[in-house]
Amino acid sequence: MRGRTFQHPLTLALSPADGGEGTRTESFSMDDAQPETSPKPTGEVPVDLSESARKHDVEERAALIAEMRQTVDRLEKDVAARGDIKLLSRALKELRYAFQVFRPYRMIKKVTVFGSARTAPAHPDYQLAVEFGRRMASAGWMVVTGAGGGIMEGAHVGAGLAMSMGVNILLPFEQEANFVINGDEKLVTFRYFFTRKLMFVKEVHAVVLFPGGFGSMDELFEVLTLIQTGKRDMIPIVLIETPGERYWTAWLEFIRAQLLGRQLISPPDLSLFKITNSLDEAVAEIERFYSVYDSMRFIRDKLILRLRDVPSDELLERLNVEFAGLLAGGKIERVPTHPHEYEESEIRHLPRIAFKFNRRETGRLRQLIDVLNVELAAANDDEED
């Protein structure tokens, strides 16, 4: 797994008035920390658009902003309650600021790490989190956590300040930002859980969970729900437990007996996550997911999968037979880059397949992606041999 190459640094000057923490930075030193040089933020990737496409983009942005202003005007006409207006105003400020912080790093892959804030540094789970953060940072991934102590701190210790981002929450207890990320410009502090949760899943490419309490369970079920219902693009979800422990193993027994046993979920839904007590397996699961598969996008009634290699006719024929139940009509086929994708300059050159997805069987969709990764990676290995 390799990081991206960056060419256009962007300096952020964020003031407390914007809802941020300013630009104060507190450095730290630790033997196993990564270098204290952050990846160069890129801003937006340079876009090579035709004049008509560029004009369309400008017009669409203007229309969306005008629509937001109309919504605000309607609040006044509705004589909305002061508390409701305050909530909307603060939520918009929080998200605007968070988008500004994350925007320069959007072309860098990120993994969100969840887990208990109460896990002590001497605990094996904390040590696993440190090593996991170190491995992901070494592979070019940034590590996003809730910026608190425990597992969150451990993941940041391993990743180091340069490769860490934090989305903190204001609580009356337990949630001061950890010493790694505290005061850094890549830390965002939220008042609301719902705005914070959006950033946890919107800006990342994988989610990893260590044992935790109600909050960690909440985050796990939310991510699973978003993916199962198609409200979030497919990403790998990995649940890590210490060898010899049964935290996630016991959780899976409950899921199988009560959710699957009562037919409240489908067997393929179990493909949406992986449980392991091996960091090698955890990292490999994330690497493998992006070995061939890159990303997805819906355009009208078609789901487009962007790949790093071209599937053969034989593989497409197999997919159309094995995953026929995913189709709402038509077949899985290779397609050119759609004009709506031209603005995505980093990936518009990639091969693509597309099909009419029934938008129900996301577990089977994950299995299709797994087949693409395994078969195309194997084909590449055979060619190299």
Q: Output Rg (C-alpha) for the chain, integer angstroms.
A: 22
Q: What is the pTM of this model?
A: 0.84
Token digits for 69? 């202003």
216 near 115, Cβ under 8 Å? yes
In the numeric block, which tokens belong to residue 108?
């860098």
Structural tokens at position 95: 């998200």
Residue pair 29/133 in contact by the 8 Å Cβ criterion: no
**Residue 42, beta-bridge partner list:** none
Q: Tokens standing for 85?
A: 């207006």
Q: Cβ(142)–Cβ(39) under 8 Å?
A: yes
DSSP states of 237-295 as a string? Answer: EEEE--TT--HHHHHHHHIIIIIITTTSS-GGGGGG-EEES-HHHHHHHHHHHTSSEEE
> Residue 318 and residue 185: Cα distance in Å, rounded?
49
**pLDDT tens digits in sequence order for the chain, 385 residues long:** 433 332 322 223 333 333 333 333 333 333 344 444 566 554 444 444 567 767 777 888 899 999 999 999 999 999 999 999 999 999 999 999 999 999 999 999 999 999 999 999 999 999 999 999 999 999 999 999 999 999 999 999 999 999 999 999 987 765 689 999 999 999 999 999 999 999 999 999 999 999 999 999 999 999 999 999 999 999 999 999 999 999 999 999 999 999 999 999 999 999 999 999 999 999 999 999 999 999 999 999 999 999 999 999 999 999 999 999 999 999 999 999 998 888 788 898 999 999 999 999 999 999 999 999 999 988 776 666 5
- State which fold the 107-289 domain adopts: Rossmann fold (3.40.50)
Q: Which two tokens stand for residue 206?
A: 């994988």
CA distance 278 to 312: 34
| Spatial separation of the C-alpha atoms in residues 147 and 223, rounded to whole Å | 19
Burial class (CB in 10 A: 0-12, 13-18, 19+), 332: buried
What is the structure's pLDDT at 41? 56
Exposure of 181 in the CB half-sphere (CA atoms within 13 A) = 30
301 DSSP assignment = T
- Annotate 46-72 with b (16+ C-beta within 10 A) or e (fewer): eeeeeeeeeeeeeeeeeeeeeeeeeee
Instruction: Record the tokens describing residue 41, joined without a space.
Output: 């933020």
Q: Are 236 and 285 in contact (CB under 8 A)?
A: yes
Domain limits of the chain? 51-99, 107-289, 293-384
Tokens of 71: 């919504």
For residue 300, give the amino acid letter.
R
